Amino acid sequence: MIRAVRTSVPTTRRAFASRRLLSSSVPRFSADQHGHLPTTQSPITPHLEFFNSVAGEGKTIPTYRVIDGAGNPLEGARVPELDEALARKMYEEMTKLPILDNILYNVQRQGKIAFYMTCYGEEATIIGSAAALAPDDEVLGQYREMGVLLWRGFSYDSVMNQCFGTHEDIATKGKQMPVHFGSRELHFHTISSPLATQIPQAAGVGYALKRDPLRRGKNCAVVYFGEGAASEGDFHAGMLLASTIPSPTLFICRNNGFAISTPASEQYHGDGIASRGPGYGVHTIRVDGNDILAVYNAVREARRRCIEEGRAVLVEAMTYRVGHHSTSDDSFAYRPRQEVENRKRLDNPLARFRMFLEARGWWSAEEEDAFKARVKGEVMQALKRAEELPKPPVEEMFNDVYAGEEPWNIKEQKEELKRLLKKYGSAYEPWRTELRKHKGEGKEFV
């Protein structure tokens, strides 16, 4: 029918009719007007231009810094208003980390614990951010953030109990690998081994805080992750969730240059992790992660925006993983030893902040020696104590694996273990030795 009408109209009249149709149905806009595209407010341009830089004109995102390599404030930088007590506490907490790391790394080498991960080189990122948070902000860590717990008062005994899996290990009860800390009391969610799972969880925690009238506008969720973990889909899911269902979620990326043996340069082709923030409409900053004052300023401001606007913020802290990835890794198989030595010497976060303190008369070589000796003594004492403590009762391994009613598979495994314990528990030496390590020696279980 329509076709019959069209073919019957002469060509010139057809062209005239279609022009009239267009001019009557499409409003006229000049090139700079916008609003007529249904899915964007983007201005209209006649220029065919591609872009690949959030900083504009192919520039990379700058790195915010407050003190230079010698601890001197940069011209124009705002030094945070720290009093001597807070500045000293920050330095002391930083100094504790390599002491604990040295001792626990060697303890693992002696075969006393199964595994360990150090945070050498990342002390400023961890303590600077911890100091900028409220003590009851909810933290979801990756695994190198023991310093956040220490900042909040986690004791050396608690560190040792978790790493040794003693019966005093409250959060994980010997069921997690070492360094998978958790503390309900200190608002630190237990670490998970699968990378990046904490990122969308944090967006959920942020949303829960927003819905809680007692904590809305008061607390945020803080999630730490490595640049490697940011290659997981969970990173994008977490960012999208926190930006589209707005929640006070503070994303802190520790960009330490490596994901085990994969250098950061192979994790992304774009401008680091920071370039992804604006894509999600998230306030973003890149900061020198070896400058504790820059990290402190950046995270304080990020937290303020998070809480006041109820929206996500992303901080990318640029640092360097000085240690091996874990006790299961030998990093000299994939990076030159000299590179590590150079980084340690040229950009040491502890040395930088110490020079800042010493210039103000807030720290001295004598205090450094005395402090290190005291911490070392206290850590060794906690270590000896944990070595002597029994592991949790045998039955504990089945508790809290699932919430709610005990499922069939746990029941079945329990029965299996009971049967084996009856058969070998006292007759077979390796079993006797193992059972002696547990509180109750498995007797209550059988």
Query: Minimal distance in Å, beta carbon 325 to Mg ion?
Result: 8
In Å, what is the CA distance from 143 to each residue of 116, 140, 173, 181, 322?
10, 9, 17, 8, 15
Angle at 31 between CA 29 and CA 36, to 5 degrees: 50
Query: Minimal distance in Å, beta carbon 263 to Mg ion?
Result: 9
Query: Minimal distance in Å, beta carbon 359 to ligand TPP?
Result: 31
- Residue among 362, 363, 353, 360 at smallest CA distance from 67: 353
**Partner that binds at residue 445, options Mg ion, ligand TPP, none, CB closer than 5 to 8 Å by kind:** none
Query: 248, 292 in Cβ contact below 8 A?
Result: no
- Residues lying near ligand TPP in the complex (CB under 6 A) are found at 144, 193-195, 225-229, 254, 256, 258-260, 321, 325
Beta strands in 137-216 (DSSP E): 138-140, 188-189
**Partner that binds at residue 195, options ligand TPP, Mg ion, none, CB closer than 5 to 8 Å by kind:** ligand TPP
Distance between CA 125 and CA 130 in Å, rounded? 8
**Partner that binds at residue 144, options ligand TPP, Mg ion, none, CB closer than 5 to 8 Å by kind:** ligand TPP
Residue nearest Mg ion by beta-carbon distance: 226
- Residue among 218, 238, 225, 279 at smallest CA distance from 61: 279
Query: Minimal distance in Å, beta carbon 224 to ligand TPP?
Result: 9
- N-terminal to C-terminal alpha carbon distance within the chain: 88
Distance between CA 341 and CA 335 in Å, rounded? 11
Based on CB atoms, which residue is closest to Mg ion, 343 or 354? Answer: 343
> In sequence order, what are the residues at sequence separation of 6 or more whose Cβ sits closer than 8 angstroms to the Cβ of residue 439?
167, 390, 391, 392, 393
349 makes contact with Mg ion (CB under 5 A): no
226 makes contact with Mg ion (CB under 5 A): yes
In Å, what is the CA distance from 64 to each residue of 176, 285, 296, 318?
37, 8, 11, 10
**Partner that binds at residue 210, options Mg ion, ligand TPP, none, CB closer than 5 to 8 Å by kind:** none
Candidates 147, 165, 206, 228: give the one binding Mg ion (CB under 5 A).
Answer: 228
Where are the alpha helices (H) located in 317-427, listed in sequence order? 337-346, 349-359, 365-388, 408-424
Based on CB atoms, which residue is closest to Mg ion, 219 or 256? Answer: 256
Distance between CA 287 and CA 343 in Å, rounded? 17
Query: Minimal distance in Å, beta carbon 38 to ligand TPP?
Result: 39
323 makes contact with Mg ion (CB under 5 A): no
Active site residues: 321, 325, 334
Based on CB atoms, which residue is closest to ligand TPP, 166 or 172? Answer: 172
**Partner that binds at residue 194, options Mg ion, ligand TPP, none, CB closer than 5 to 8 Å by kind:** ligand TPP
Mask: binding to Mg ion, 239-258, rule CB under 5 A, as x and -?
Answer: -----------------x--
Residue nearest ligand TPP by beta-carbon distance: 226
Based on CB atoms, which residue is closest to Mg ion, 91 or 224? Answer: 224
State the residues that interact with Mg ion by CB under 5 A. 226-228, 256, 259
